[in-house]
Amino acid sequence: MQFDGRHLINGQFQAEGNETFQVANAATTETLNGAFTLALESDVNKACELAAKAFPIYSELRLEERAIFLETAASEIDGIVDDLVARIGEETGLPEARVRGETGRTTGQLRLFAKVLRRGDYLQARIDTAMPERQPLPRPDIRQYNQALGPVAVFGASNFPMAFSVAGGDTASALAAGCPVVARAHSGHPGTAELVGKAMVRAVEKCGLPAGVFSLIQGKGHHIGGALVKHPAIKAVGFTGSLGGGRALCDAAASRPEPIPVFAEMGSINPVYLLPRALEANAEKLAEGFVTSLTMGTGQFCTNPGLVIAAKGEGLNRFKAKVAELISNAPAGVMLNAGTLNGFNKQQDKYRNEAALIGEGPSAENRARASLFGADLADWAGNETLHEEAFGPCSLLVETATDAQFVEATQKLEGQLTATLWGADAELESYQPLLNELSRKVGRILVNGWPTGVEVCDSMTHGGPYPACSVAGSTSVGTRAIERFVRPVSFQDMPDTCLPAPLKNANPLSISRLVNGAPSTDPIA
């Protein structure tokens, strides 16, 4: 497998500079083939300027044309899945089943947003027809719909080289909204990024779109991201990664002469609550499910269960004993790269110094060992170190003595992507104060399940209050992700011939619209 290594700008490989970097095999640490170019600010500027030129054309395409483009991109990616299995496995250590599943999710997202375009509900068309006879003042004709925001910068994630990267959810939703994308490849998997980038460019060409609809920038260094976020053509940012990285992008975007939104998903410890009756009845089964979730993908999911809150008692003692047994036999796993492994080991050592070890897996060179630590509520509540995320197969158990302490512990949490409750229906009904508090803290509340695994559908929320997400009212997964990249525009007393298609009297798109306060698909007489 050969790689060009340069950026994909204007539909072709090009680069202003000639300094390159290489990446190592995640499992063996051997250098992989392919030299990838470090971007210069001039490369970023060129991609952004092309995106700006493409925006007026691309955003005005018929919805069907954009839908066909997304489906074409999905088909192009489907055609390279075997190459992706090979390269992603080398660059990240992810196994074949995971790569094929994640690739299917990526193409599935693209096809799902094609369906969103065809049904048109994201446009949220609203029409209040004129009431010239109204007293004391007549009402004008006012019509509103959602319009594309502008070119979007998308930052690839380290832990999802497909679903949250070059053609992942941020890219799919931005392109669906009518926004050209400048994708910043993650430096941990540049070969994967090139393979997917080429597939996207082929889709652009096959659909006869302006080349600036999609660009791919390679390289390392914060200066690339800074140049991208600060370019005046960029109108929004999609990011999945660390709190530090996301916060830096938010600060850069806010310092622009024209501030722009950064939709950053930045991490979460995803508390799991084991209620007394469920724990007493199913301690060993819960332990098995927890360890499976904790070690899945070597713990490198943003929804990894990094905190367990459980009531003291015999049930919890059985849970701890079973977890310790299972973890002791859990093989150490390959992490995405040396930097991720190093960061995990440092955070795990912090836990080791601040909490009691409950169970730990065997060690292995260049591998991450699973672990569970424990602390009382009082010790955990005031210890900032124990509130930090350990990105990997490491979790902390906090023991409570009363039902009220479940709520007390929740009040100490920062914003989270998920929270999980294990309990029988009747038991859950008696924990309404806990449910109320959780609804203010997290984006998704699960019952009797495990947080690893995010369904891509209309009703999914993958977001939450800060610091889980920089914009609490957004989601990066599910069809509402498109709402991040549109803005409402109203037209008052505009002639029908000049109105955009979603607002015309004849309703040529046959979409559901809110007409004078009532949903309707009918034309307006």
Model pLDDT for residues 448-461, shown as the tens digit of each residue = 999 998 999 999 99
The stretch 263-285 carries a mean pLDDT of 96
pLDDT-derived band at 424, boundaries 50, 70, 90: confident
Cα–Cα dist 181/291, whole Å: 38
Cα–Cα dist 184/190, whole Å: 10
List where CATH 3.40.309.10 sits in the chain: 271-447
Average pLDDT over the chain, rounded to whole?
A: 97
End-to-end CA distance of the chain: 61
Question: Residue 354 pLDDT more than 90?
Answer: yes
Q: What is the pLDDT of residues 122-160, one digit of tens each?
A: 999 999 999 999 999 999 999 999 999 999 999 999 999
Residue 302 designated active-site: yes
Contact 375, 307 (CB under 8 A): no
List where CATH 3.40.605.10 sits in the chain: 7-126+147-266+475-483
Residue 489, pLDDT score: 98
Contact 495, 291 (CB under 8 A): no
In whole angstroms, how far apart are CA 174 and each of 57, 165, 437, 456, 501? 15, 13, 33, 16, 20
The CATH number that domain 7-126+147-266+475-483 falls under is 3.40.605.10
Q: Which residue has the tokens 């074409």?
A: 72
Q: Is the link from the previous residue into 132 a cis peptide, with omega within 30 of 0?
A: no
Residue 457 designated active-site: no
The catalytic position among 48, 179, 250, 302 is: 302
Among residues 426, 419, 106, 417, the alpha carbon closest in space to that of 265 is found at 417
Residue type present at position 57:
I
Q: Please name the helix (run of DSSP H) or strand (run of DSSP E) that holds residue 132, with its range, or none.
A: none
User: pTM for the complete prediction?
Assistant: 0.96
CATH tag for 271-447 (out of 3.40.50.300, 3.90.1170.40, 1.20.1630.10, 3.40.309.10) = 3.40.309.10
DSSP-derived pairing of the beta strands 518-520 and 513-515? antiparallel
Question: Residue 388 pLDDT more than 90?
Answer: yes
Q: Please name the helix (run of DSSP H) or strand (run of DSSP E) that holds residue 370, with its range, or none.
A: none
Q: What is the pLDDT of residues 45-95, one digit of tens each?
A: 999 999 999 999 999 999 999 999 999 999 999 999 999 999 999 999 999
Q: What is the pLDDT of residues 425-437, one digit of tens each?
A: 888 999 999 999 9
The stretch 10-28 carries a mean pLDDT of 97
Residue type present at position 37:
T
Residue 249, pLDDT score: 97
Q: What share of the chain is helix, strand, coil (3-state, %, to 5)?
A: 40, 20, 40
Residue 207, pLDDT score: 98
Residue 306, pLDDT score: 97
Contact 512, 121 (CB under 8 A): yes
Tokens matching residue 493: 């007393």
Question: Residue 267 pLDDT more than 90?
Answer: no
Q: What is the pLDDT of residues 184-195, one digit of tens each?
A: 999 999 999 999
The stretch 234-240 carries a mean pLDDT of 98
Among residues 268, 217, 221, 259, the alpha carbon closest in space to that of 240 is found at 268
The catalytic position among 265, 360, 399, 437 is: 265
Give phi and psi for 62, each to the nearest 5: -60, 150
Residue 363, pLDDT score: 93
